[in-house]
Structure 1
Amino acid sequence: MTQDLPGRMLRLLSLLQTRRTWTGDELANRLGVTLRTIRRDIDRLRDLGYPVDGTTGTAGGYRLTSGADLPPLLLDDEEAVAIAVALRTATRGVAGIEETAVRALAKLEQVLPVRLRHQVATIQATAAPLPVPWSTGLTADPSTLATLAAACRDHEITTFTYRTSGGDCGPRRVEPHALVAADPVWYLVAHDTDHDEWRLFRVDRLTDPTPTGHRVTPRELPAPDAAAYVAERLAAAPARYTLHATVPADAETARAHTHSLPGRVQPLDNHTSTLDLAADNPHHIAQQLLTIDLGPTHTIHGTPQLAPHLEQSGNRLLRAAHALTQQDDQNKQRAEPDPRHEQ
């Protein structure tokens, strides 16, 4: 279908796909044509099956909507590469999407130019996802993610049922702001209208999201961006086990080695920082501690009940080290010549 469109209409279609609503004057200015030409091109797109809605008035304009059939999408090179890479790597944390992503990727790669296929392969080879050892194994429903993403885009009040970490379920009514993927858990950042405060919702604990049709003006988020807000909230969340340590490393190094959230690592000077670890699973803290040198003059305090779990992890490592040492000794003995044969 797209091969039947002249260049100007292809550019018009591309603009309609990049944002929800355009006024006729905006489209005319972007394409360097008259408003009358825009109207004719919109009618031609409709004849070809593209569902373009038009409204009048000061807030009126044109927007590409959903229709009975899926029309061809117009992608530039960068968009095509981005989608292909996302399809290859973005299935973590989303339930049942692997097979669907593979089918979509096969269709896309079939029509990609060779130069773009090489770009996708290069990015994939150098940016493969690495599963974290403390992955929860919980996944979000793709239809739920799609509904919430649309509500965030349209600033549309949405209701859903939410289950807290304690198991309590109840209705929520929120103004969705953004979705954040904190591998492998997805979070919804939203303003809770019933409690009049910003909140963080795990998407895997959220069911029956329903847009209300009521759109609102976006509120100002109390953080530089949604990812920063999620990091701050997660860093401040209570946990069953905690550990505070002063380590002989700068804050950037300590954060990179332990994969800690920014709020849990604070610099003392250029060579020393404080590290706050927290988790409901004590083995997560043990794994983080193994990634950094605590030094001979470290200071540690935290949850006393954490000690036996750390000792257990340490003993496991000692047993493994002892087994390797024994194996090395046995190999050396086999390699030594038998003195009875030395004449």
Structure 2
Amino acid sequence: MRELHSTRDTWHLTHSRPDVLVDYFNPWTPMTRQISQLTHRFGMVSALCEQVSVDEKLLELRNALAFHLLRAATWWRMDFAAPRVAGMPTTRFMAHIHAHIDRVAMDETLFDVLTWQHHMRRDDPSHVMVLGTDPLCRGGTSILYGLDGQRRFRFALHAADTPHVTEWDDAAHTDFVSTCLAARARHGVVETGREALGEWDDARLEHARAAKYHTLYFRQDTTRPVIDRYIEVLGEMTRCRSRFGQFEFGNILNHVAFQLVRTAHERQVSIADVLREGTTQPINLRVANSIKKRARAHVAHGVDPLLREGLDAMLDNVVAGYSLSDQF
């Protein structure tokens, strides 16, 4: 048994590192998958840390995953509560984070900006902690990202001929993706000397609409049927004009579809039965099949790969439904 634990420990030390699981500066990486990976790996590593004799490196990994789970929720502005998300009391979860930041100075600085601001001019928008550069940026101008004293994300453009001059743009946002979209729009203007493409404006407006769904990602909405949310998000996606908006709302729609199919599985009914509860409209078999297809897309692209086999099996056991209506 100890050999089995050692094998698992070694695997996680290689494959469950936060830098492997999260790409903070690339908004095209589905945030649902990254959050799923952090949450699931934190749970798995925490369980391994309950062993009588545990490797110190594994404890450090658990603590790092706790910190990055909180960082990711802040990065994408998701409501976070340790008991609901991490499955443990807040005090215990925060103890893991403090153990991590005691070891990693950069993360301690970021945590300070997000909390007490002992090292910042509190609430000062002109005092900005540098977070990093945009890895996808092209051309002679680079993009620098930061977090200011009001805990808002900022960006600055660095021209090749003045790399040491940093003038932070006045625009400030409560989530990173909003700042990234604004930065890339501005970057395009500087690089081309032309007005920003309309798609950037569309992407920013569409992300603003999507942000509320990200905020509530960890919350289970029991106030209305899941199908209502599915129809709402589907409507939002069809309104999107930018590629990023379609990508973002497509991922949200896949997640809601998965929640709907999981509800059917938990109740041991068909997808059609769940749909009937939330609408008086006739249910077409194609709709139920489309929802199941989107649920599969969520499992394929929006969850930790370690969960896929079990979730695919769950989806296999849920039927779309037959004789749903007279409309075939």
TM-score between the two structures when normalised by the length of structure 2: 0.24
Structure whose residues are more often helix by fraction: 2
RCO higher in 1 or 2 (8 Å CA, sep ≥ 6)?
2
Structure whose residues are more often strand by fraction: 1
Structure with higher Rg: it is 1
